[in-house]
Chains A and B, each alone.
Chain A
């Protein structure tokens, strides 16, 4: 799994960077308490990579002492449902992929490629075809930039979470916070959705569930950029590892609201660099997700995508086109409303889920 650098915590913050190397070698990786994974996982969860880093990666003069950590294991689990309720028919594959929101072009492309691969390999049995498709999808979905950028040591990491209304931004933040807290990170949340009714309270509930600090507006309707600024300020003054800023949902065709994101960015950048801008996309969305990603990428410099609600019947095939067309990595997935229903996006796990033998519920 991905390794991250977080602030080294002792009784007192350590200022001298020299200690880092020593600490990294001396201290074992923070103990990983595996989350109980749902018993009936659709696919076999991939084994966590055990290989331990012998030598620490050279750290670029971080401002603060850091240590290398993993995050507790989370799995897509039951998240992805199989595409197939019966044996694969190559001629039906295109339709099946369309039904999974891959889009007309991608569906054609993938099914053609599978046909070619099957021809080449002389594969024809159901099992062979499934394996080929799994490998094909895994290959096409795998990217080198899928890890959360929590390893450059520029603490606190600031994550901005954006997306259309109801996509799952606030929930994602709650889950991510809990996860980081479980890995012993210090988390500050910023309630920069000062628009929607009770949005601040909603984030506050998640903050308390996740045991994170919260910065909210001092008065109703306060400028979200100023909340973002104060969030970073608190993160800095309390030596937090990470600040996650929730923003109001906005439809990508509303220019004023989109411009507001630029303002929020600038407010953050007055004090810290932005580690990630996560665009939250609801898996039940169809082709409009592409328009969403395009617009948000333009104004907010999106660095990664979170696909939520993969626990439903939606297959989230649009993530394929999101990666291909917009060159944005899918980094995280949401698979439920619970605080632990969350995982790194694993192309292999996703592909396995899609080709699994299980019947759709």
Chain B
């Protein structure tokens, strides 16, 4: 329905390409995109404002202006801040030293408390706890029955002295449950309460009374991940009205972007402990801040890619290369170094998998063979420094020597040199057209076609060698064969 943030940001970034620095206006443009993305993800406006304010402050600071790729750096900051809020003080459920540990569930109507109670009970039981479920939702028709059915399914007893449907006192039930749990030595008590609105004073008072009666070790605020702008109001009401020690996000198996997670975490300051991800009683897992951050931003794992790229690439080195390319001084030595950088990045396939919307490049990379790099290394290592910096001197005799020295064939040496020449040519083109502002600015990656322009030119060049020498032509075409043809002409400088 909406373009996602990565699409939108790449548009913004396109305009920023070639800029070494982001101006305050550039940053504001980026922030507008981020604001919109967050709002579309249902992060509450109040929280969006606070959040973008923080981003702006950091983005104007040193770390961005010094970065080689300032725009990406902004995204990185967004991600950091998101994770800081979502996973700030990640922690496990806290258990009381004097059992029973009491867990009270609270939240709006229909948020998924009762189902969660069942899941929690099952999960605790599997960890050798002896949980007791307490049916303190005496409001909603047959909430008690529902809990009883769930308890039976997971083999956990349910304390349900009242039938509910508007009859019975939930405070008394909760209090009696604790006494019963102590007497019968249950290790954990899970109190399911009725859904209530934050503005319903009477019901909020009841929640406080239940809390005071059971003295919970955890008050878990159960939040539907589809919640909209109201999340701030609801979170405030529960935080101030009952107190929240931890948050559980439900219905995460849906396709909501889950911005409510950010709102609730910001307002309550409480950690998000669990995700509820389905109707089955096993659909329950710890909360992963990273996943949530990318989900809210709808960015695939682009940020992980950036991180990975930043670790692997020496930015200064990339800059130096870019300058060299622009000056037409690209050598086999540089070619080798780039190859090695790619290798350092780890599995290309893995990295490509993280990038949203790069199908073409992905296919190409699927065919990428790391052994190729090893062979390239061997060949270039067998060259003299002169040959590496001035490939023009590579005549037949030299090529023969190199082949022997590297344990390869002359054809393979020829293939490599042909690829190098193409890469050099292409990079010159790219360098003249301005450096795309991508992580590490590695020409090898740009040559991959996914990021850069100039793709078509290369496609044409790769149709085949036009050499008049049949042997040479065959060799060069063979060289193309393990490279670009297989990758259906997507135009890698390396024939990857």
Contacts and interface: CB of A to CB of B under 8 A. Distances in A.
Contacts of A101: 228-230
B229 A286 contact: yes
Given A98-B45, A313-B197, A337-B140, A284 B234 contact: yes
Contacts of B255: 251-253, 288, 291
Given A99-B229, A205-B165, A286-B228, A167 B146 contact: no
A166 B199 contact: no
A361 interface: yes
A287 B226 CA distance: 8
A236 interface: no
Nearest to A170: B141
B145 A201 contact: yes
B227 interface: yes
A159 B343 CA distance: 62
Contact of B226 (A98, A170, A205, A288): A288
A174 B140 CA distance: 12
Interface in A238-252: 251-252
B109 A166 contact: yes
A196 B224 contact: no
B419 interface: no
A312 B227 contact: no
A286 B146 contact: no
A197 B146 contact: yes
Contact of B1 (A168, A174, A286, A290): A290
A130 interface: no
Interface residues of B, number: 49
B230 A314 contact: yes
A191 to B, nearest CB: 11
A91 B55 CA distance: 24
A104 B41 CA distance: 11
A132 interface: no
Interface string B127-153: 000000000000111110110111001
Contacts, number: 145
Q: Which bracket fits the contact residues of A?
A: 35 or more
Nearest to A284: B230
Given A166-B111, A195-B279, A291-B255, A313 B230 contact: yes
Contacts of B251: 164-165, 251
Contacts of A309: 108-110, 197
A318 B233 contact: no
A206 interface: yes
Contacts of B237: 313
Nearest to B151: A197
A225 to B, nearest CB: 19
A98 B279 contact: no
B213 interface: no
Nearest to B112: A166
Interface in A283-334: 283-291, 294, 309, 311-315, 317-318
B194 to A, nearest CB: 9
B488 to A, nearest CB: 32
Interface string B144-166: 01101110010000000000010
Nearest to A206: B141
Given A99-B45, A168-B109, 11 more contacts: A104-B39, A104-B40, A199-B146, A201-B142, A204-B142, A205-B141, A252-B254, A253-B253, A288-B228, A312-B108, A317-B229
28 contacts: A98-B39, A98-B229, A99-B229, A100-B229, A101-B228, A101-B230, A103-B40, A165-B112, A165-B279, A196-B146, A196-B279, A197-B146, A197-B153, A202-B145, A251-B254, A253-B254, A285-B224, A286-B229, A286-B259, A287-B42, A288-B226, A288-B255, A290-B1, A309-B109, A311-B197, A312-B199, A313-B237, A317-B229
Interface of B: 1, 36, 39-42, 44-46, 108-112, 118, 139-143, 145-146, 148-150, 153, 165, 197-199, 224, 226-231, 233-234, 237, 251, 253-257, 259-260, 279
